[in-house]
A and B are shown apart, each in its own frame.
Chain A
């Protein structure tokens, strides 16, 4: 059973479009992280959300943590080809310091 479900699994869009990626769980997380992984590279941390209802912005990327701390979303405004990559959400379950990873959303932005 996958603790963190990400949707959609794949996304192929044109430059300039907006998109939202979702990360859902039936478990409560003390925090959730979003990583981006470019082809042939390791994941790189984008943001950590900690408080229920928290919203963080990173340029054109907006991250939200659900009020109940069971879900999170990533919204990209006016996507660019440089946003292409695999987006992973992750979070430590219970009192563990080891994060559980979702399976990722593969995003391709066409010029």
Chain B
């Protein structure tokens, strides 16, 4: 059974704090993604990675960075959290060896920045 896990389901941080969101997949997938989901705006792609140590900006990368040191792990970093980064963060993975258009999602991390 495929699995994508995220380090926290709920997180509360203060403005200016550095925040790390971790995502791990056990499917040996090459591609990993970070999205944020806000009411009325749908899923917006922040960053993605198609291989270890490789990263590409998505549609809204400002204020975020990522790290992929191992194939199974993709981290999202908020260098200095701001209140407008309060959101639901979703990690996903896919494989170029299977249906590349199919994404497997984690349960999400609901981040609140005070």
Contacts and interface: CB of A to CB of B under 8 A. Distances in A.
A65 interface: no
A97 B29 CA distance: 13
Interface residue range, chain B: 20 to 34
Given A97-B96, A101-B42, A42 B107 contact: yes
A25 interface: no
Residue with the highest number of chain B CB atoms closer than 10 Å, among A30, A44, A103: A103
Interface residues of A, number: 23
B100 A42 contact: no
Residue with the highest number of chain B CB atoms closer than 10 Å, among A88, A97, A102: A97
Interface in A1-39: 2, 30-31, 33, 35
B105 interface: yes
Nearest to B44: A101
B94 to A, nearest CB: 7
B103 A45 contact: yes
B29 to A, nearest CB: 12
A111 interface: no
Interface of A: 2, 30-31, 33, 35, 40-45, 48, 88, 90-92, 97-99, 101-104
